[in-house]
Structure 1
């Protein structure tokens, strides 16, 4: 059996966490992404570990994880799009300046991207995870 993940939901305040983001642009972008993900999931934001804001949850073979989440890191905004980006090349081509990892979308700032396209990526991610894991 796999070990439980170290990143777990906490009782820490998400508004306080976002308010503590030093860069004002990053802080404003975090507020916007938080609202967008909250609307997409109809779930409240929860701080997972020390730096990930997650929405909803699902149980995977490796433990509980948020359906979708993000972290306003110093270098960039990291969005966790759990099913990855397979089949989303149409949206990624229209998104704007970004980089991807297997399930991570890296953005320098929201001003660099099309927010409507980002919302579609988030909506697809949430729908995929709910189809796969229920909820």
Structure 2
């Protein structure tokens, strides 16, 4: 079984943001997201893999036997956009995206050019729903 590449590290989150965010605007948005997620989730931010800032963890196990740990929610200040890892990708949660604002979708990742493009109240609803779903599905043994 292949080892997961995206695991929690001991990298300093603020240092990571200052080094990884390629513009002052992306640094500012990242620091705002950091405070937003810290307050909303109550979990300490950790760097996962080379470039994801994650909050909380859950342990998953797929029918294939593949298993591992992942952050409940998170984000990354990538070059092209802020990547928000806050959506389950499930059809029954699609309505939570309706009033979010201006974004593009990946499979279960939301891409935002700048933080002002999204409604933070709606983002908070989306984040809470995702955490609730993951905890109900995989258990509340996160840390």
Query: Does TM, normalized by the shorter one, top 0.5?
Result: yes
Unaligned 5+ runs, structure 1: none
Separation in 2, partners of 1:81, 1:74: 19
CA apart distance, 1:43 = 0.7
1:53 paired residue number = 53
1:115 matches 2:120: yes
2:36 match: secondary structure: helix
Separation in 2, partners of 1:36, 1:120: 12
Closer/same/farther in 2, CA of residues 112 and 46 from structure 1, 3 Å limit: same
1:63 paired residue number = 68
Q: Which deviates further from its counterpart, 8-17 or 29-38?
A: 29-38
Q: CA RMSD in A?
A: 1.5
CA apart distance, 1:69 = 1.0
1:15 paired residue number = 14
Separation in 2, partners of 1:5, 1:73: 21
Tell me which of 117, 138, 143 is aligned to 1:133.
Answer: 138
Q: Which deviates further from its counterpart, 84-93 or 9-18?
A: 84-93
Is the contact made by 1:40 and 1:126 (CA closer than 8 Å) also made in structure 2?
Answer: no
1:71 match: secondary structure: strand
1:76 matches 2:81: yes
Q: Which deviates further from its counterpart, 10-19 or 34-43?
A: 34-43
Is the contact made by 2:87 and 2:126 (CA closer than 8 Å) also made in structure 1?
Answer: no
1:86 paired residue number = 91
CA apart distance, 1:89 = 3.4
CA apart distance, 1:112 = 1.1
Is the contact made by 1:77 and 1:109 (CA closer than 8 Å) also made in structure 2?
Answer: yes
1:42 paired residue number = 42
CA apart distance, 1:85 = 4.5
Unaligned 5+ runs, structure 2: 62-66
Q: TM-score, normalised by structure 2?
A: 0.86
CA apart distance, 1:41 = 1.9
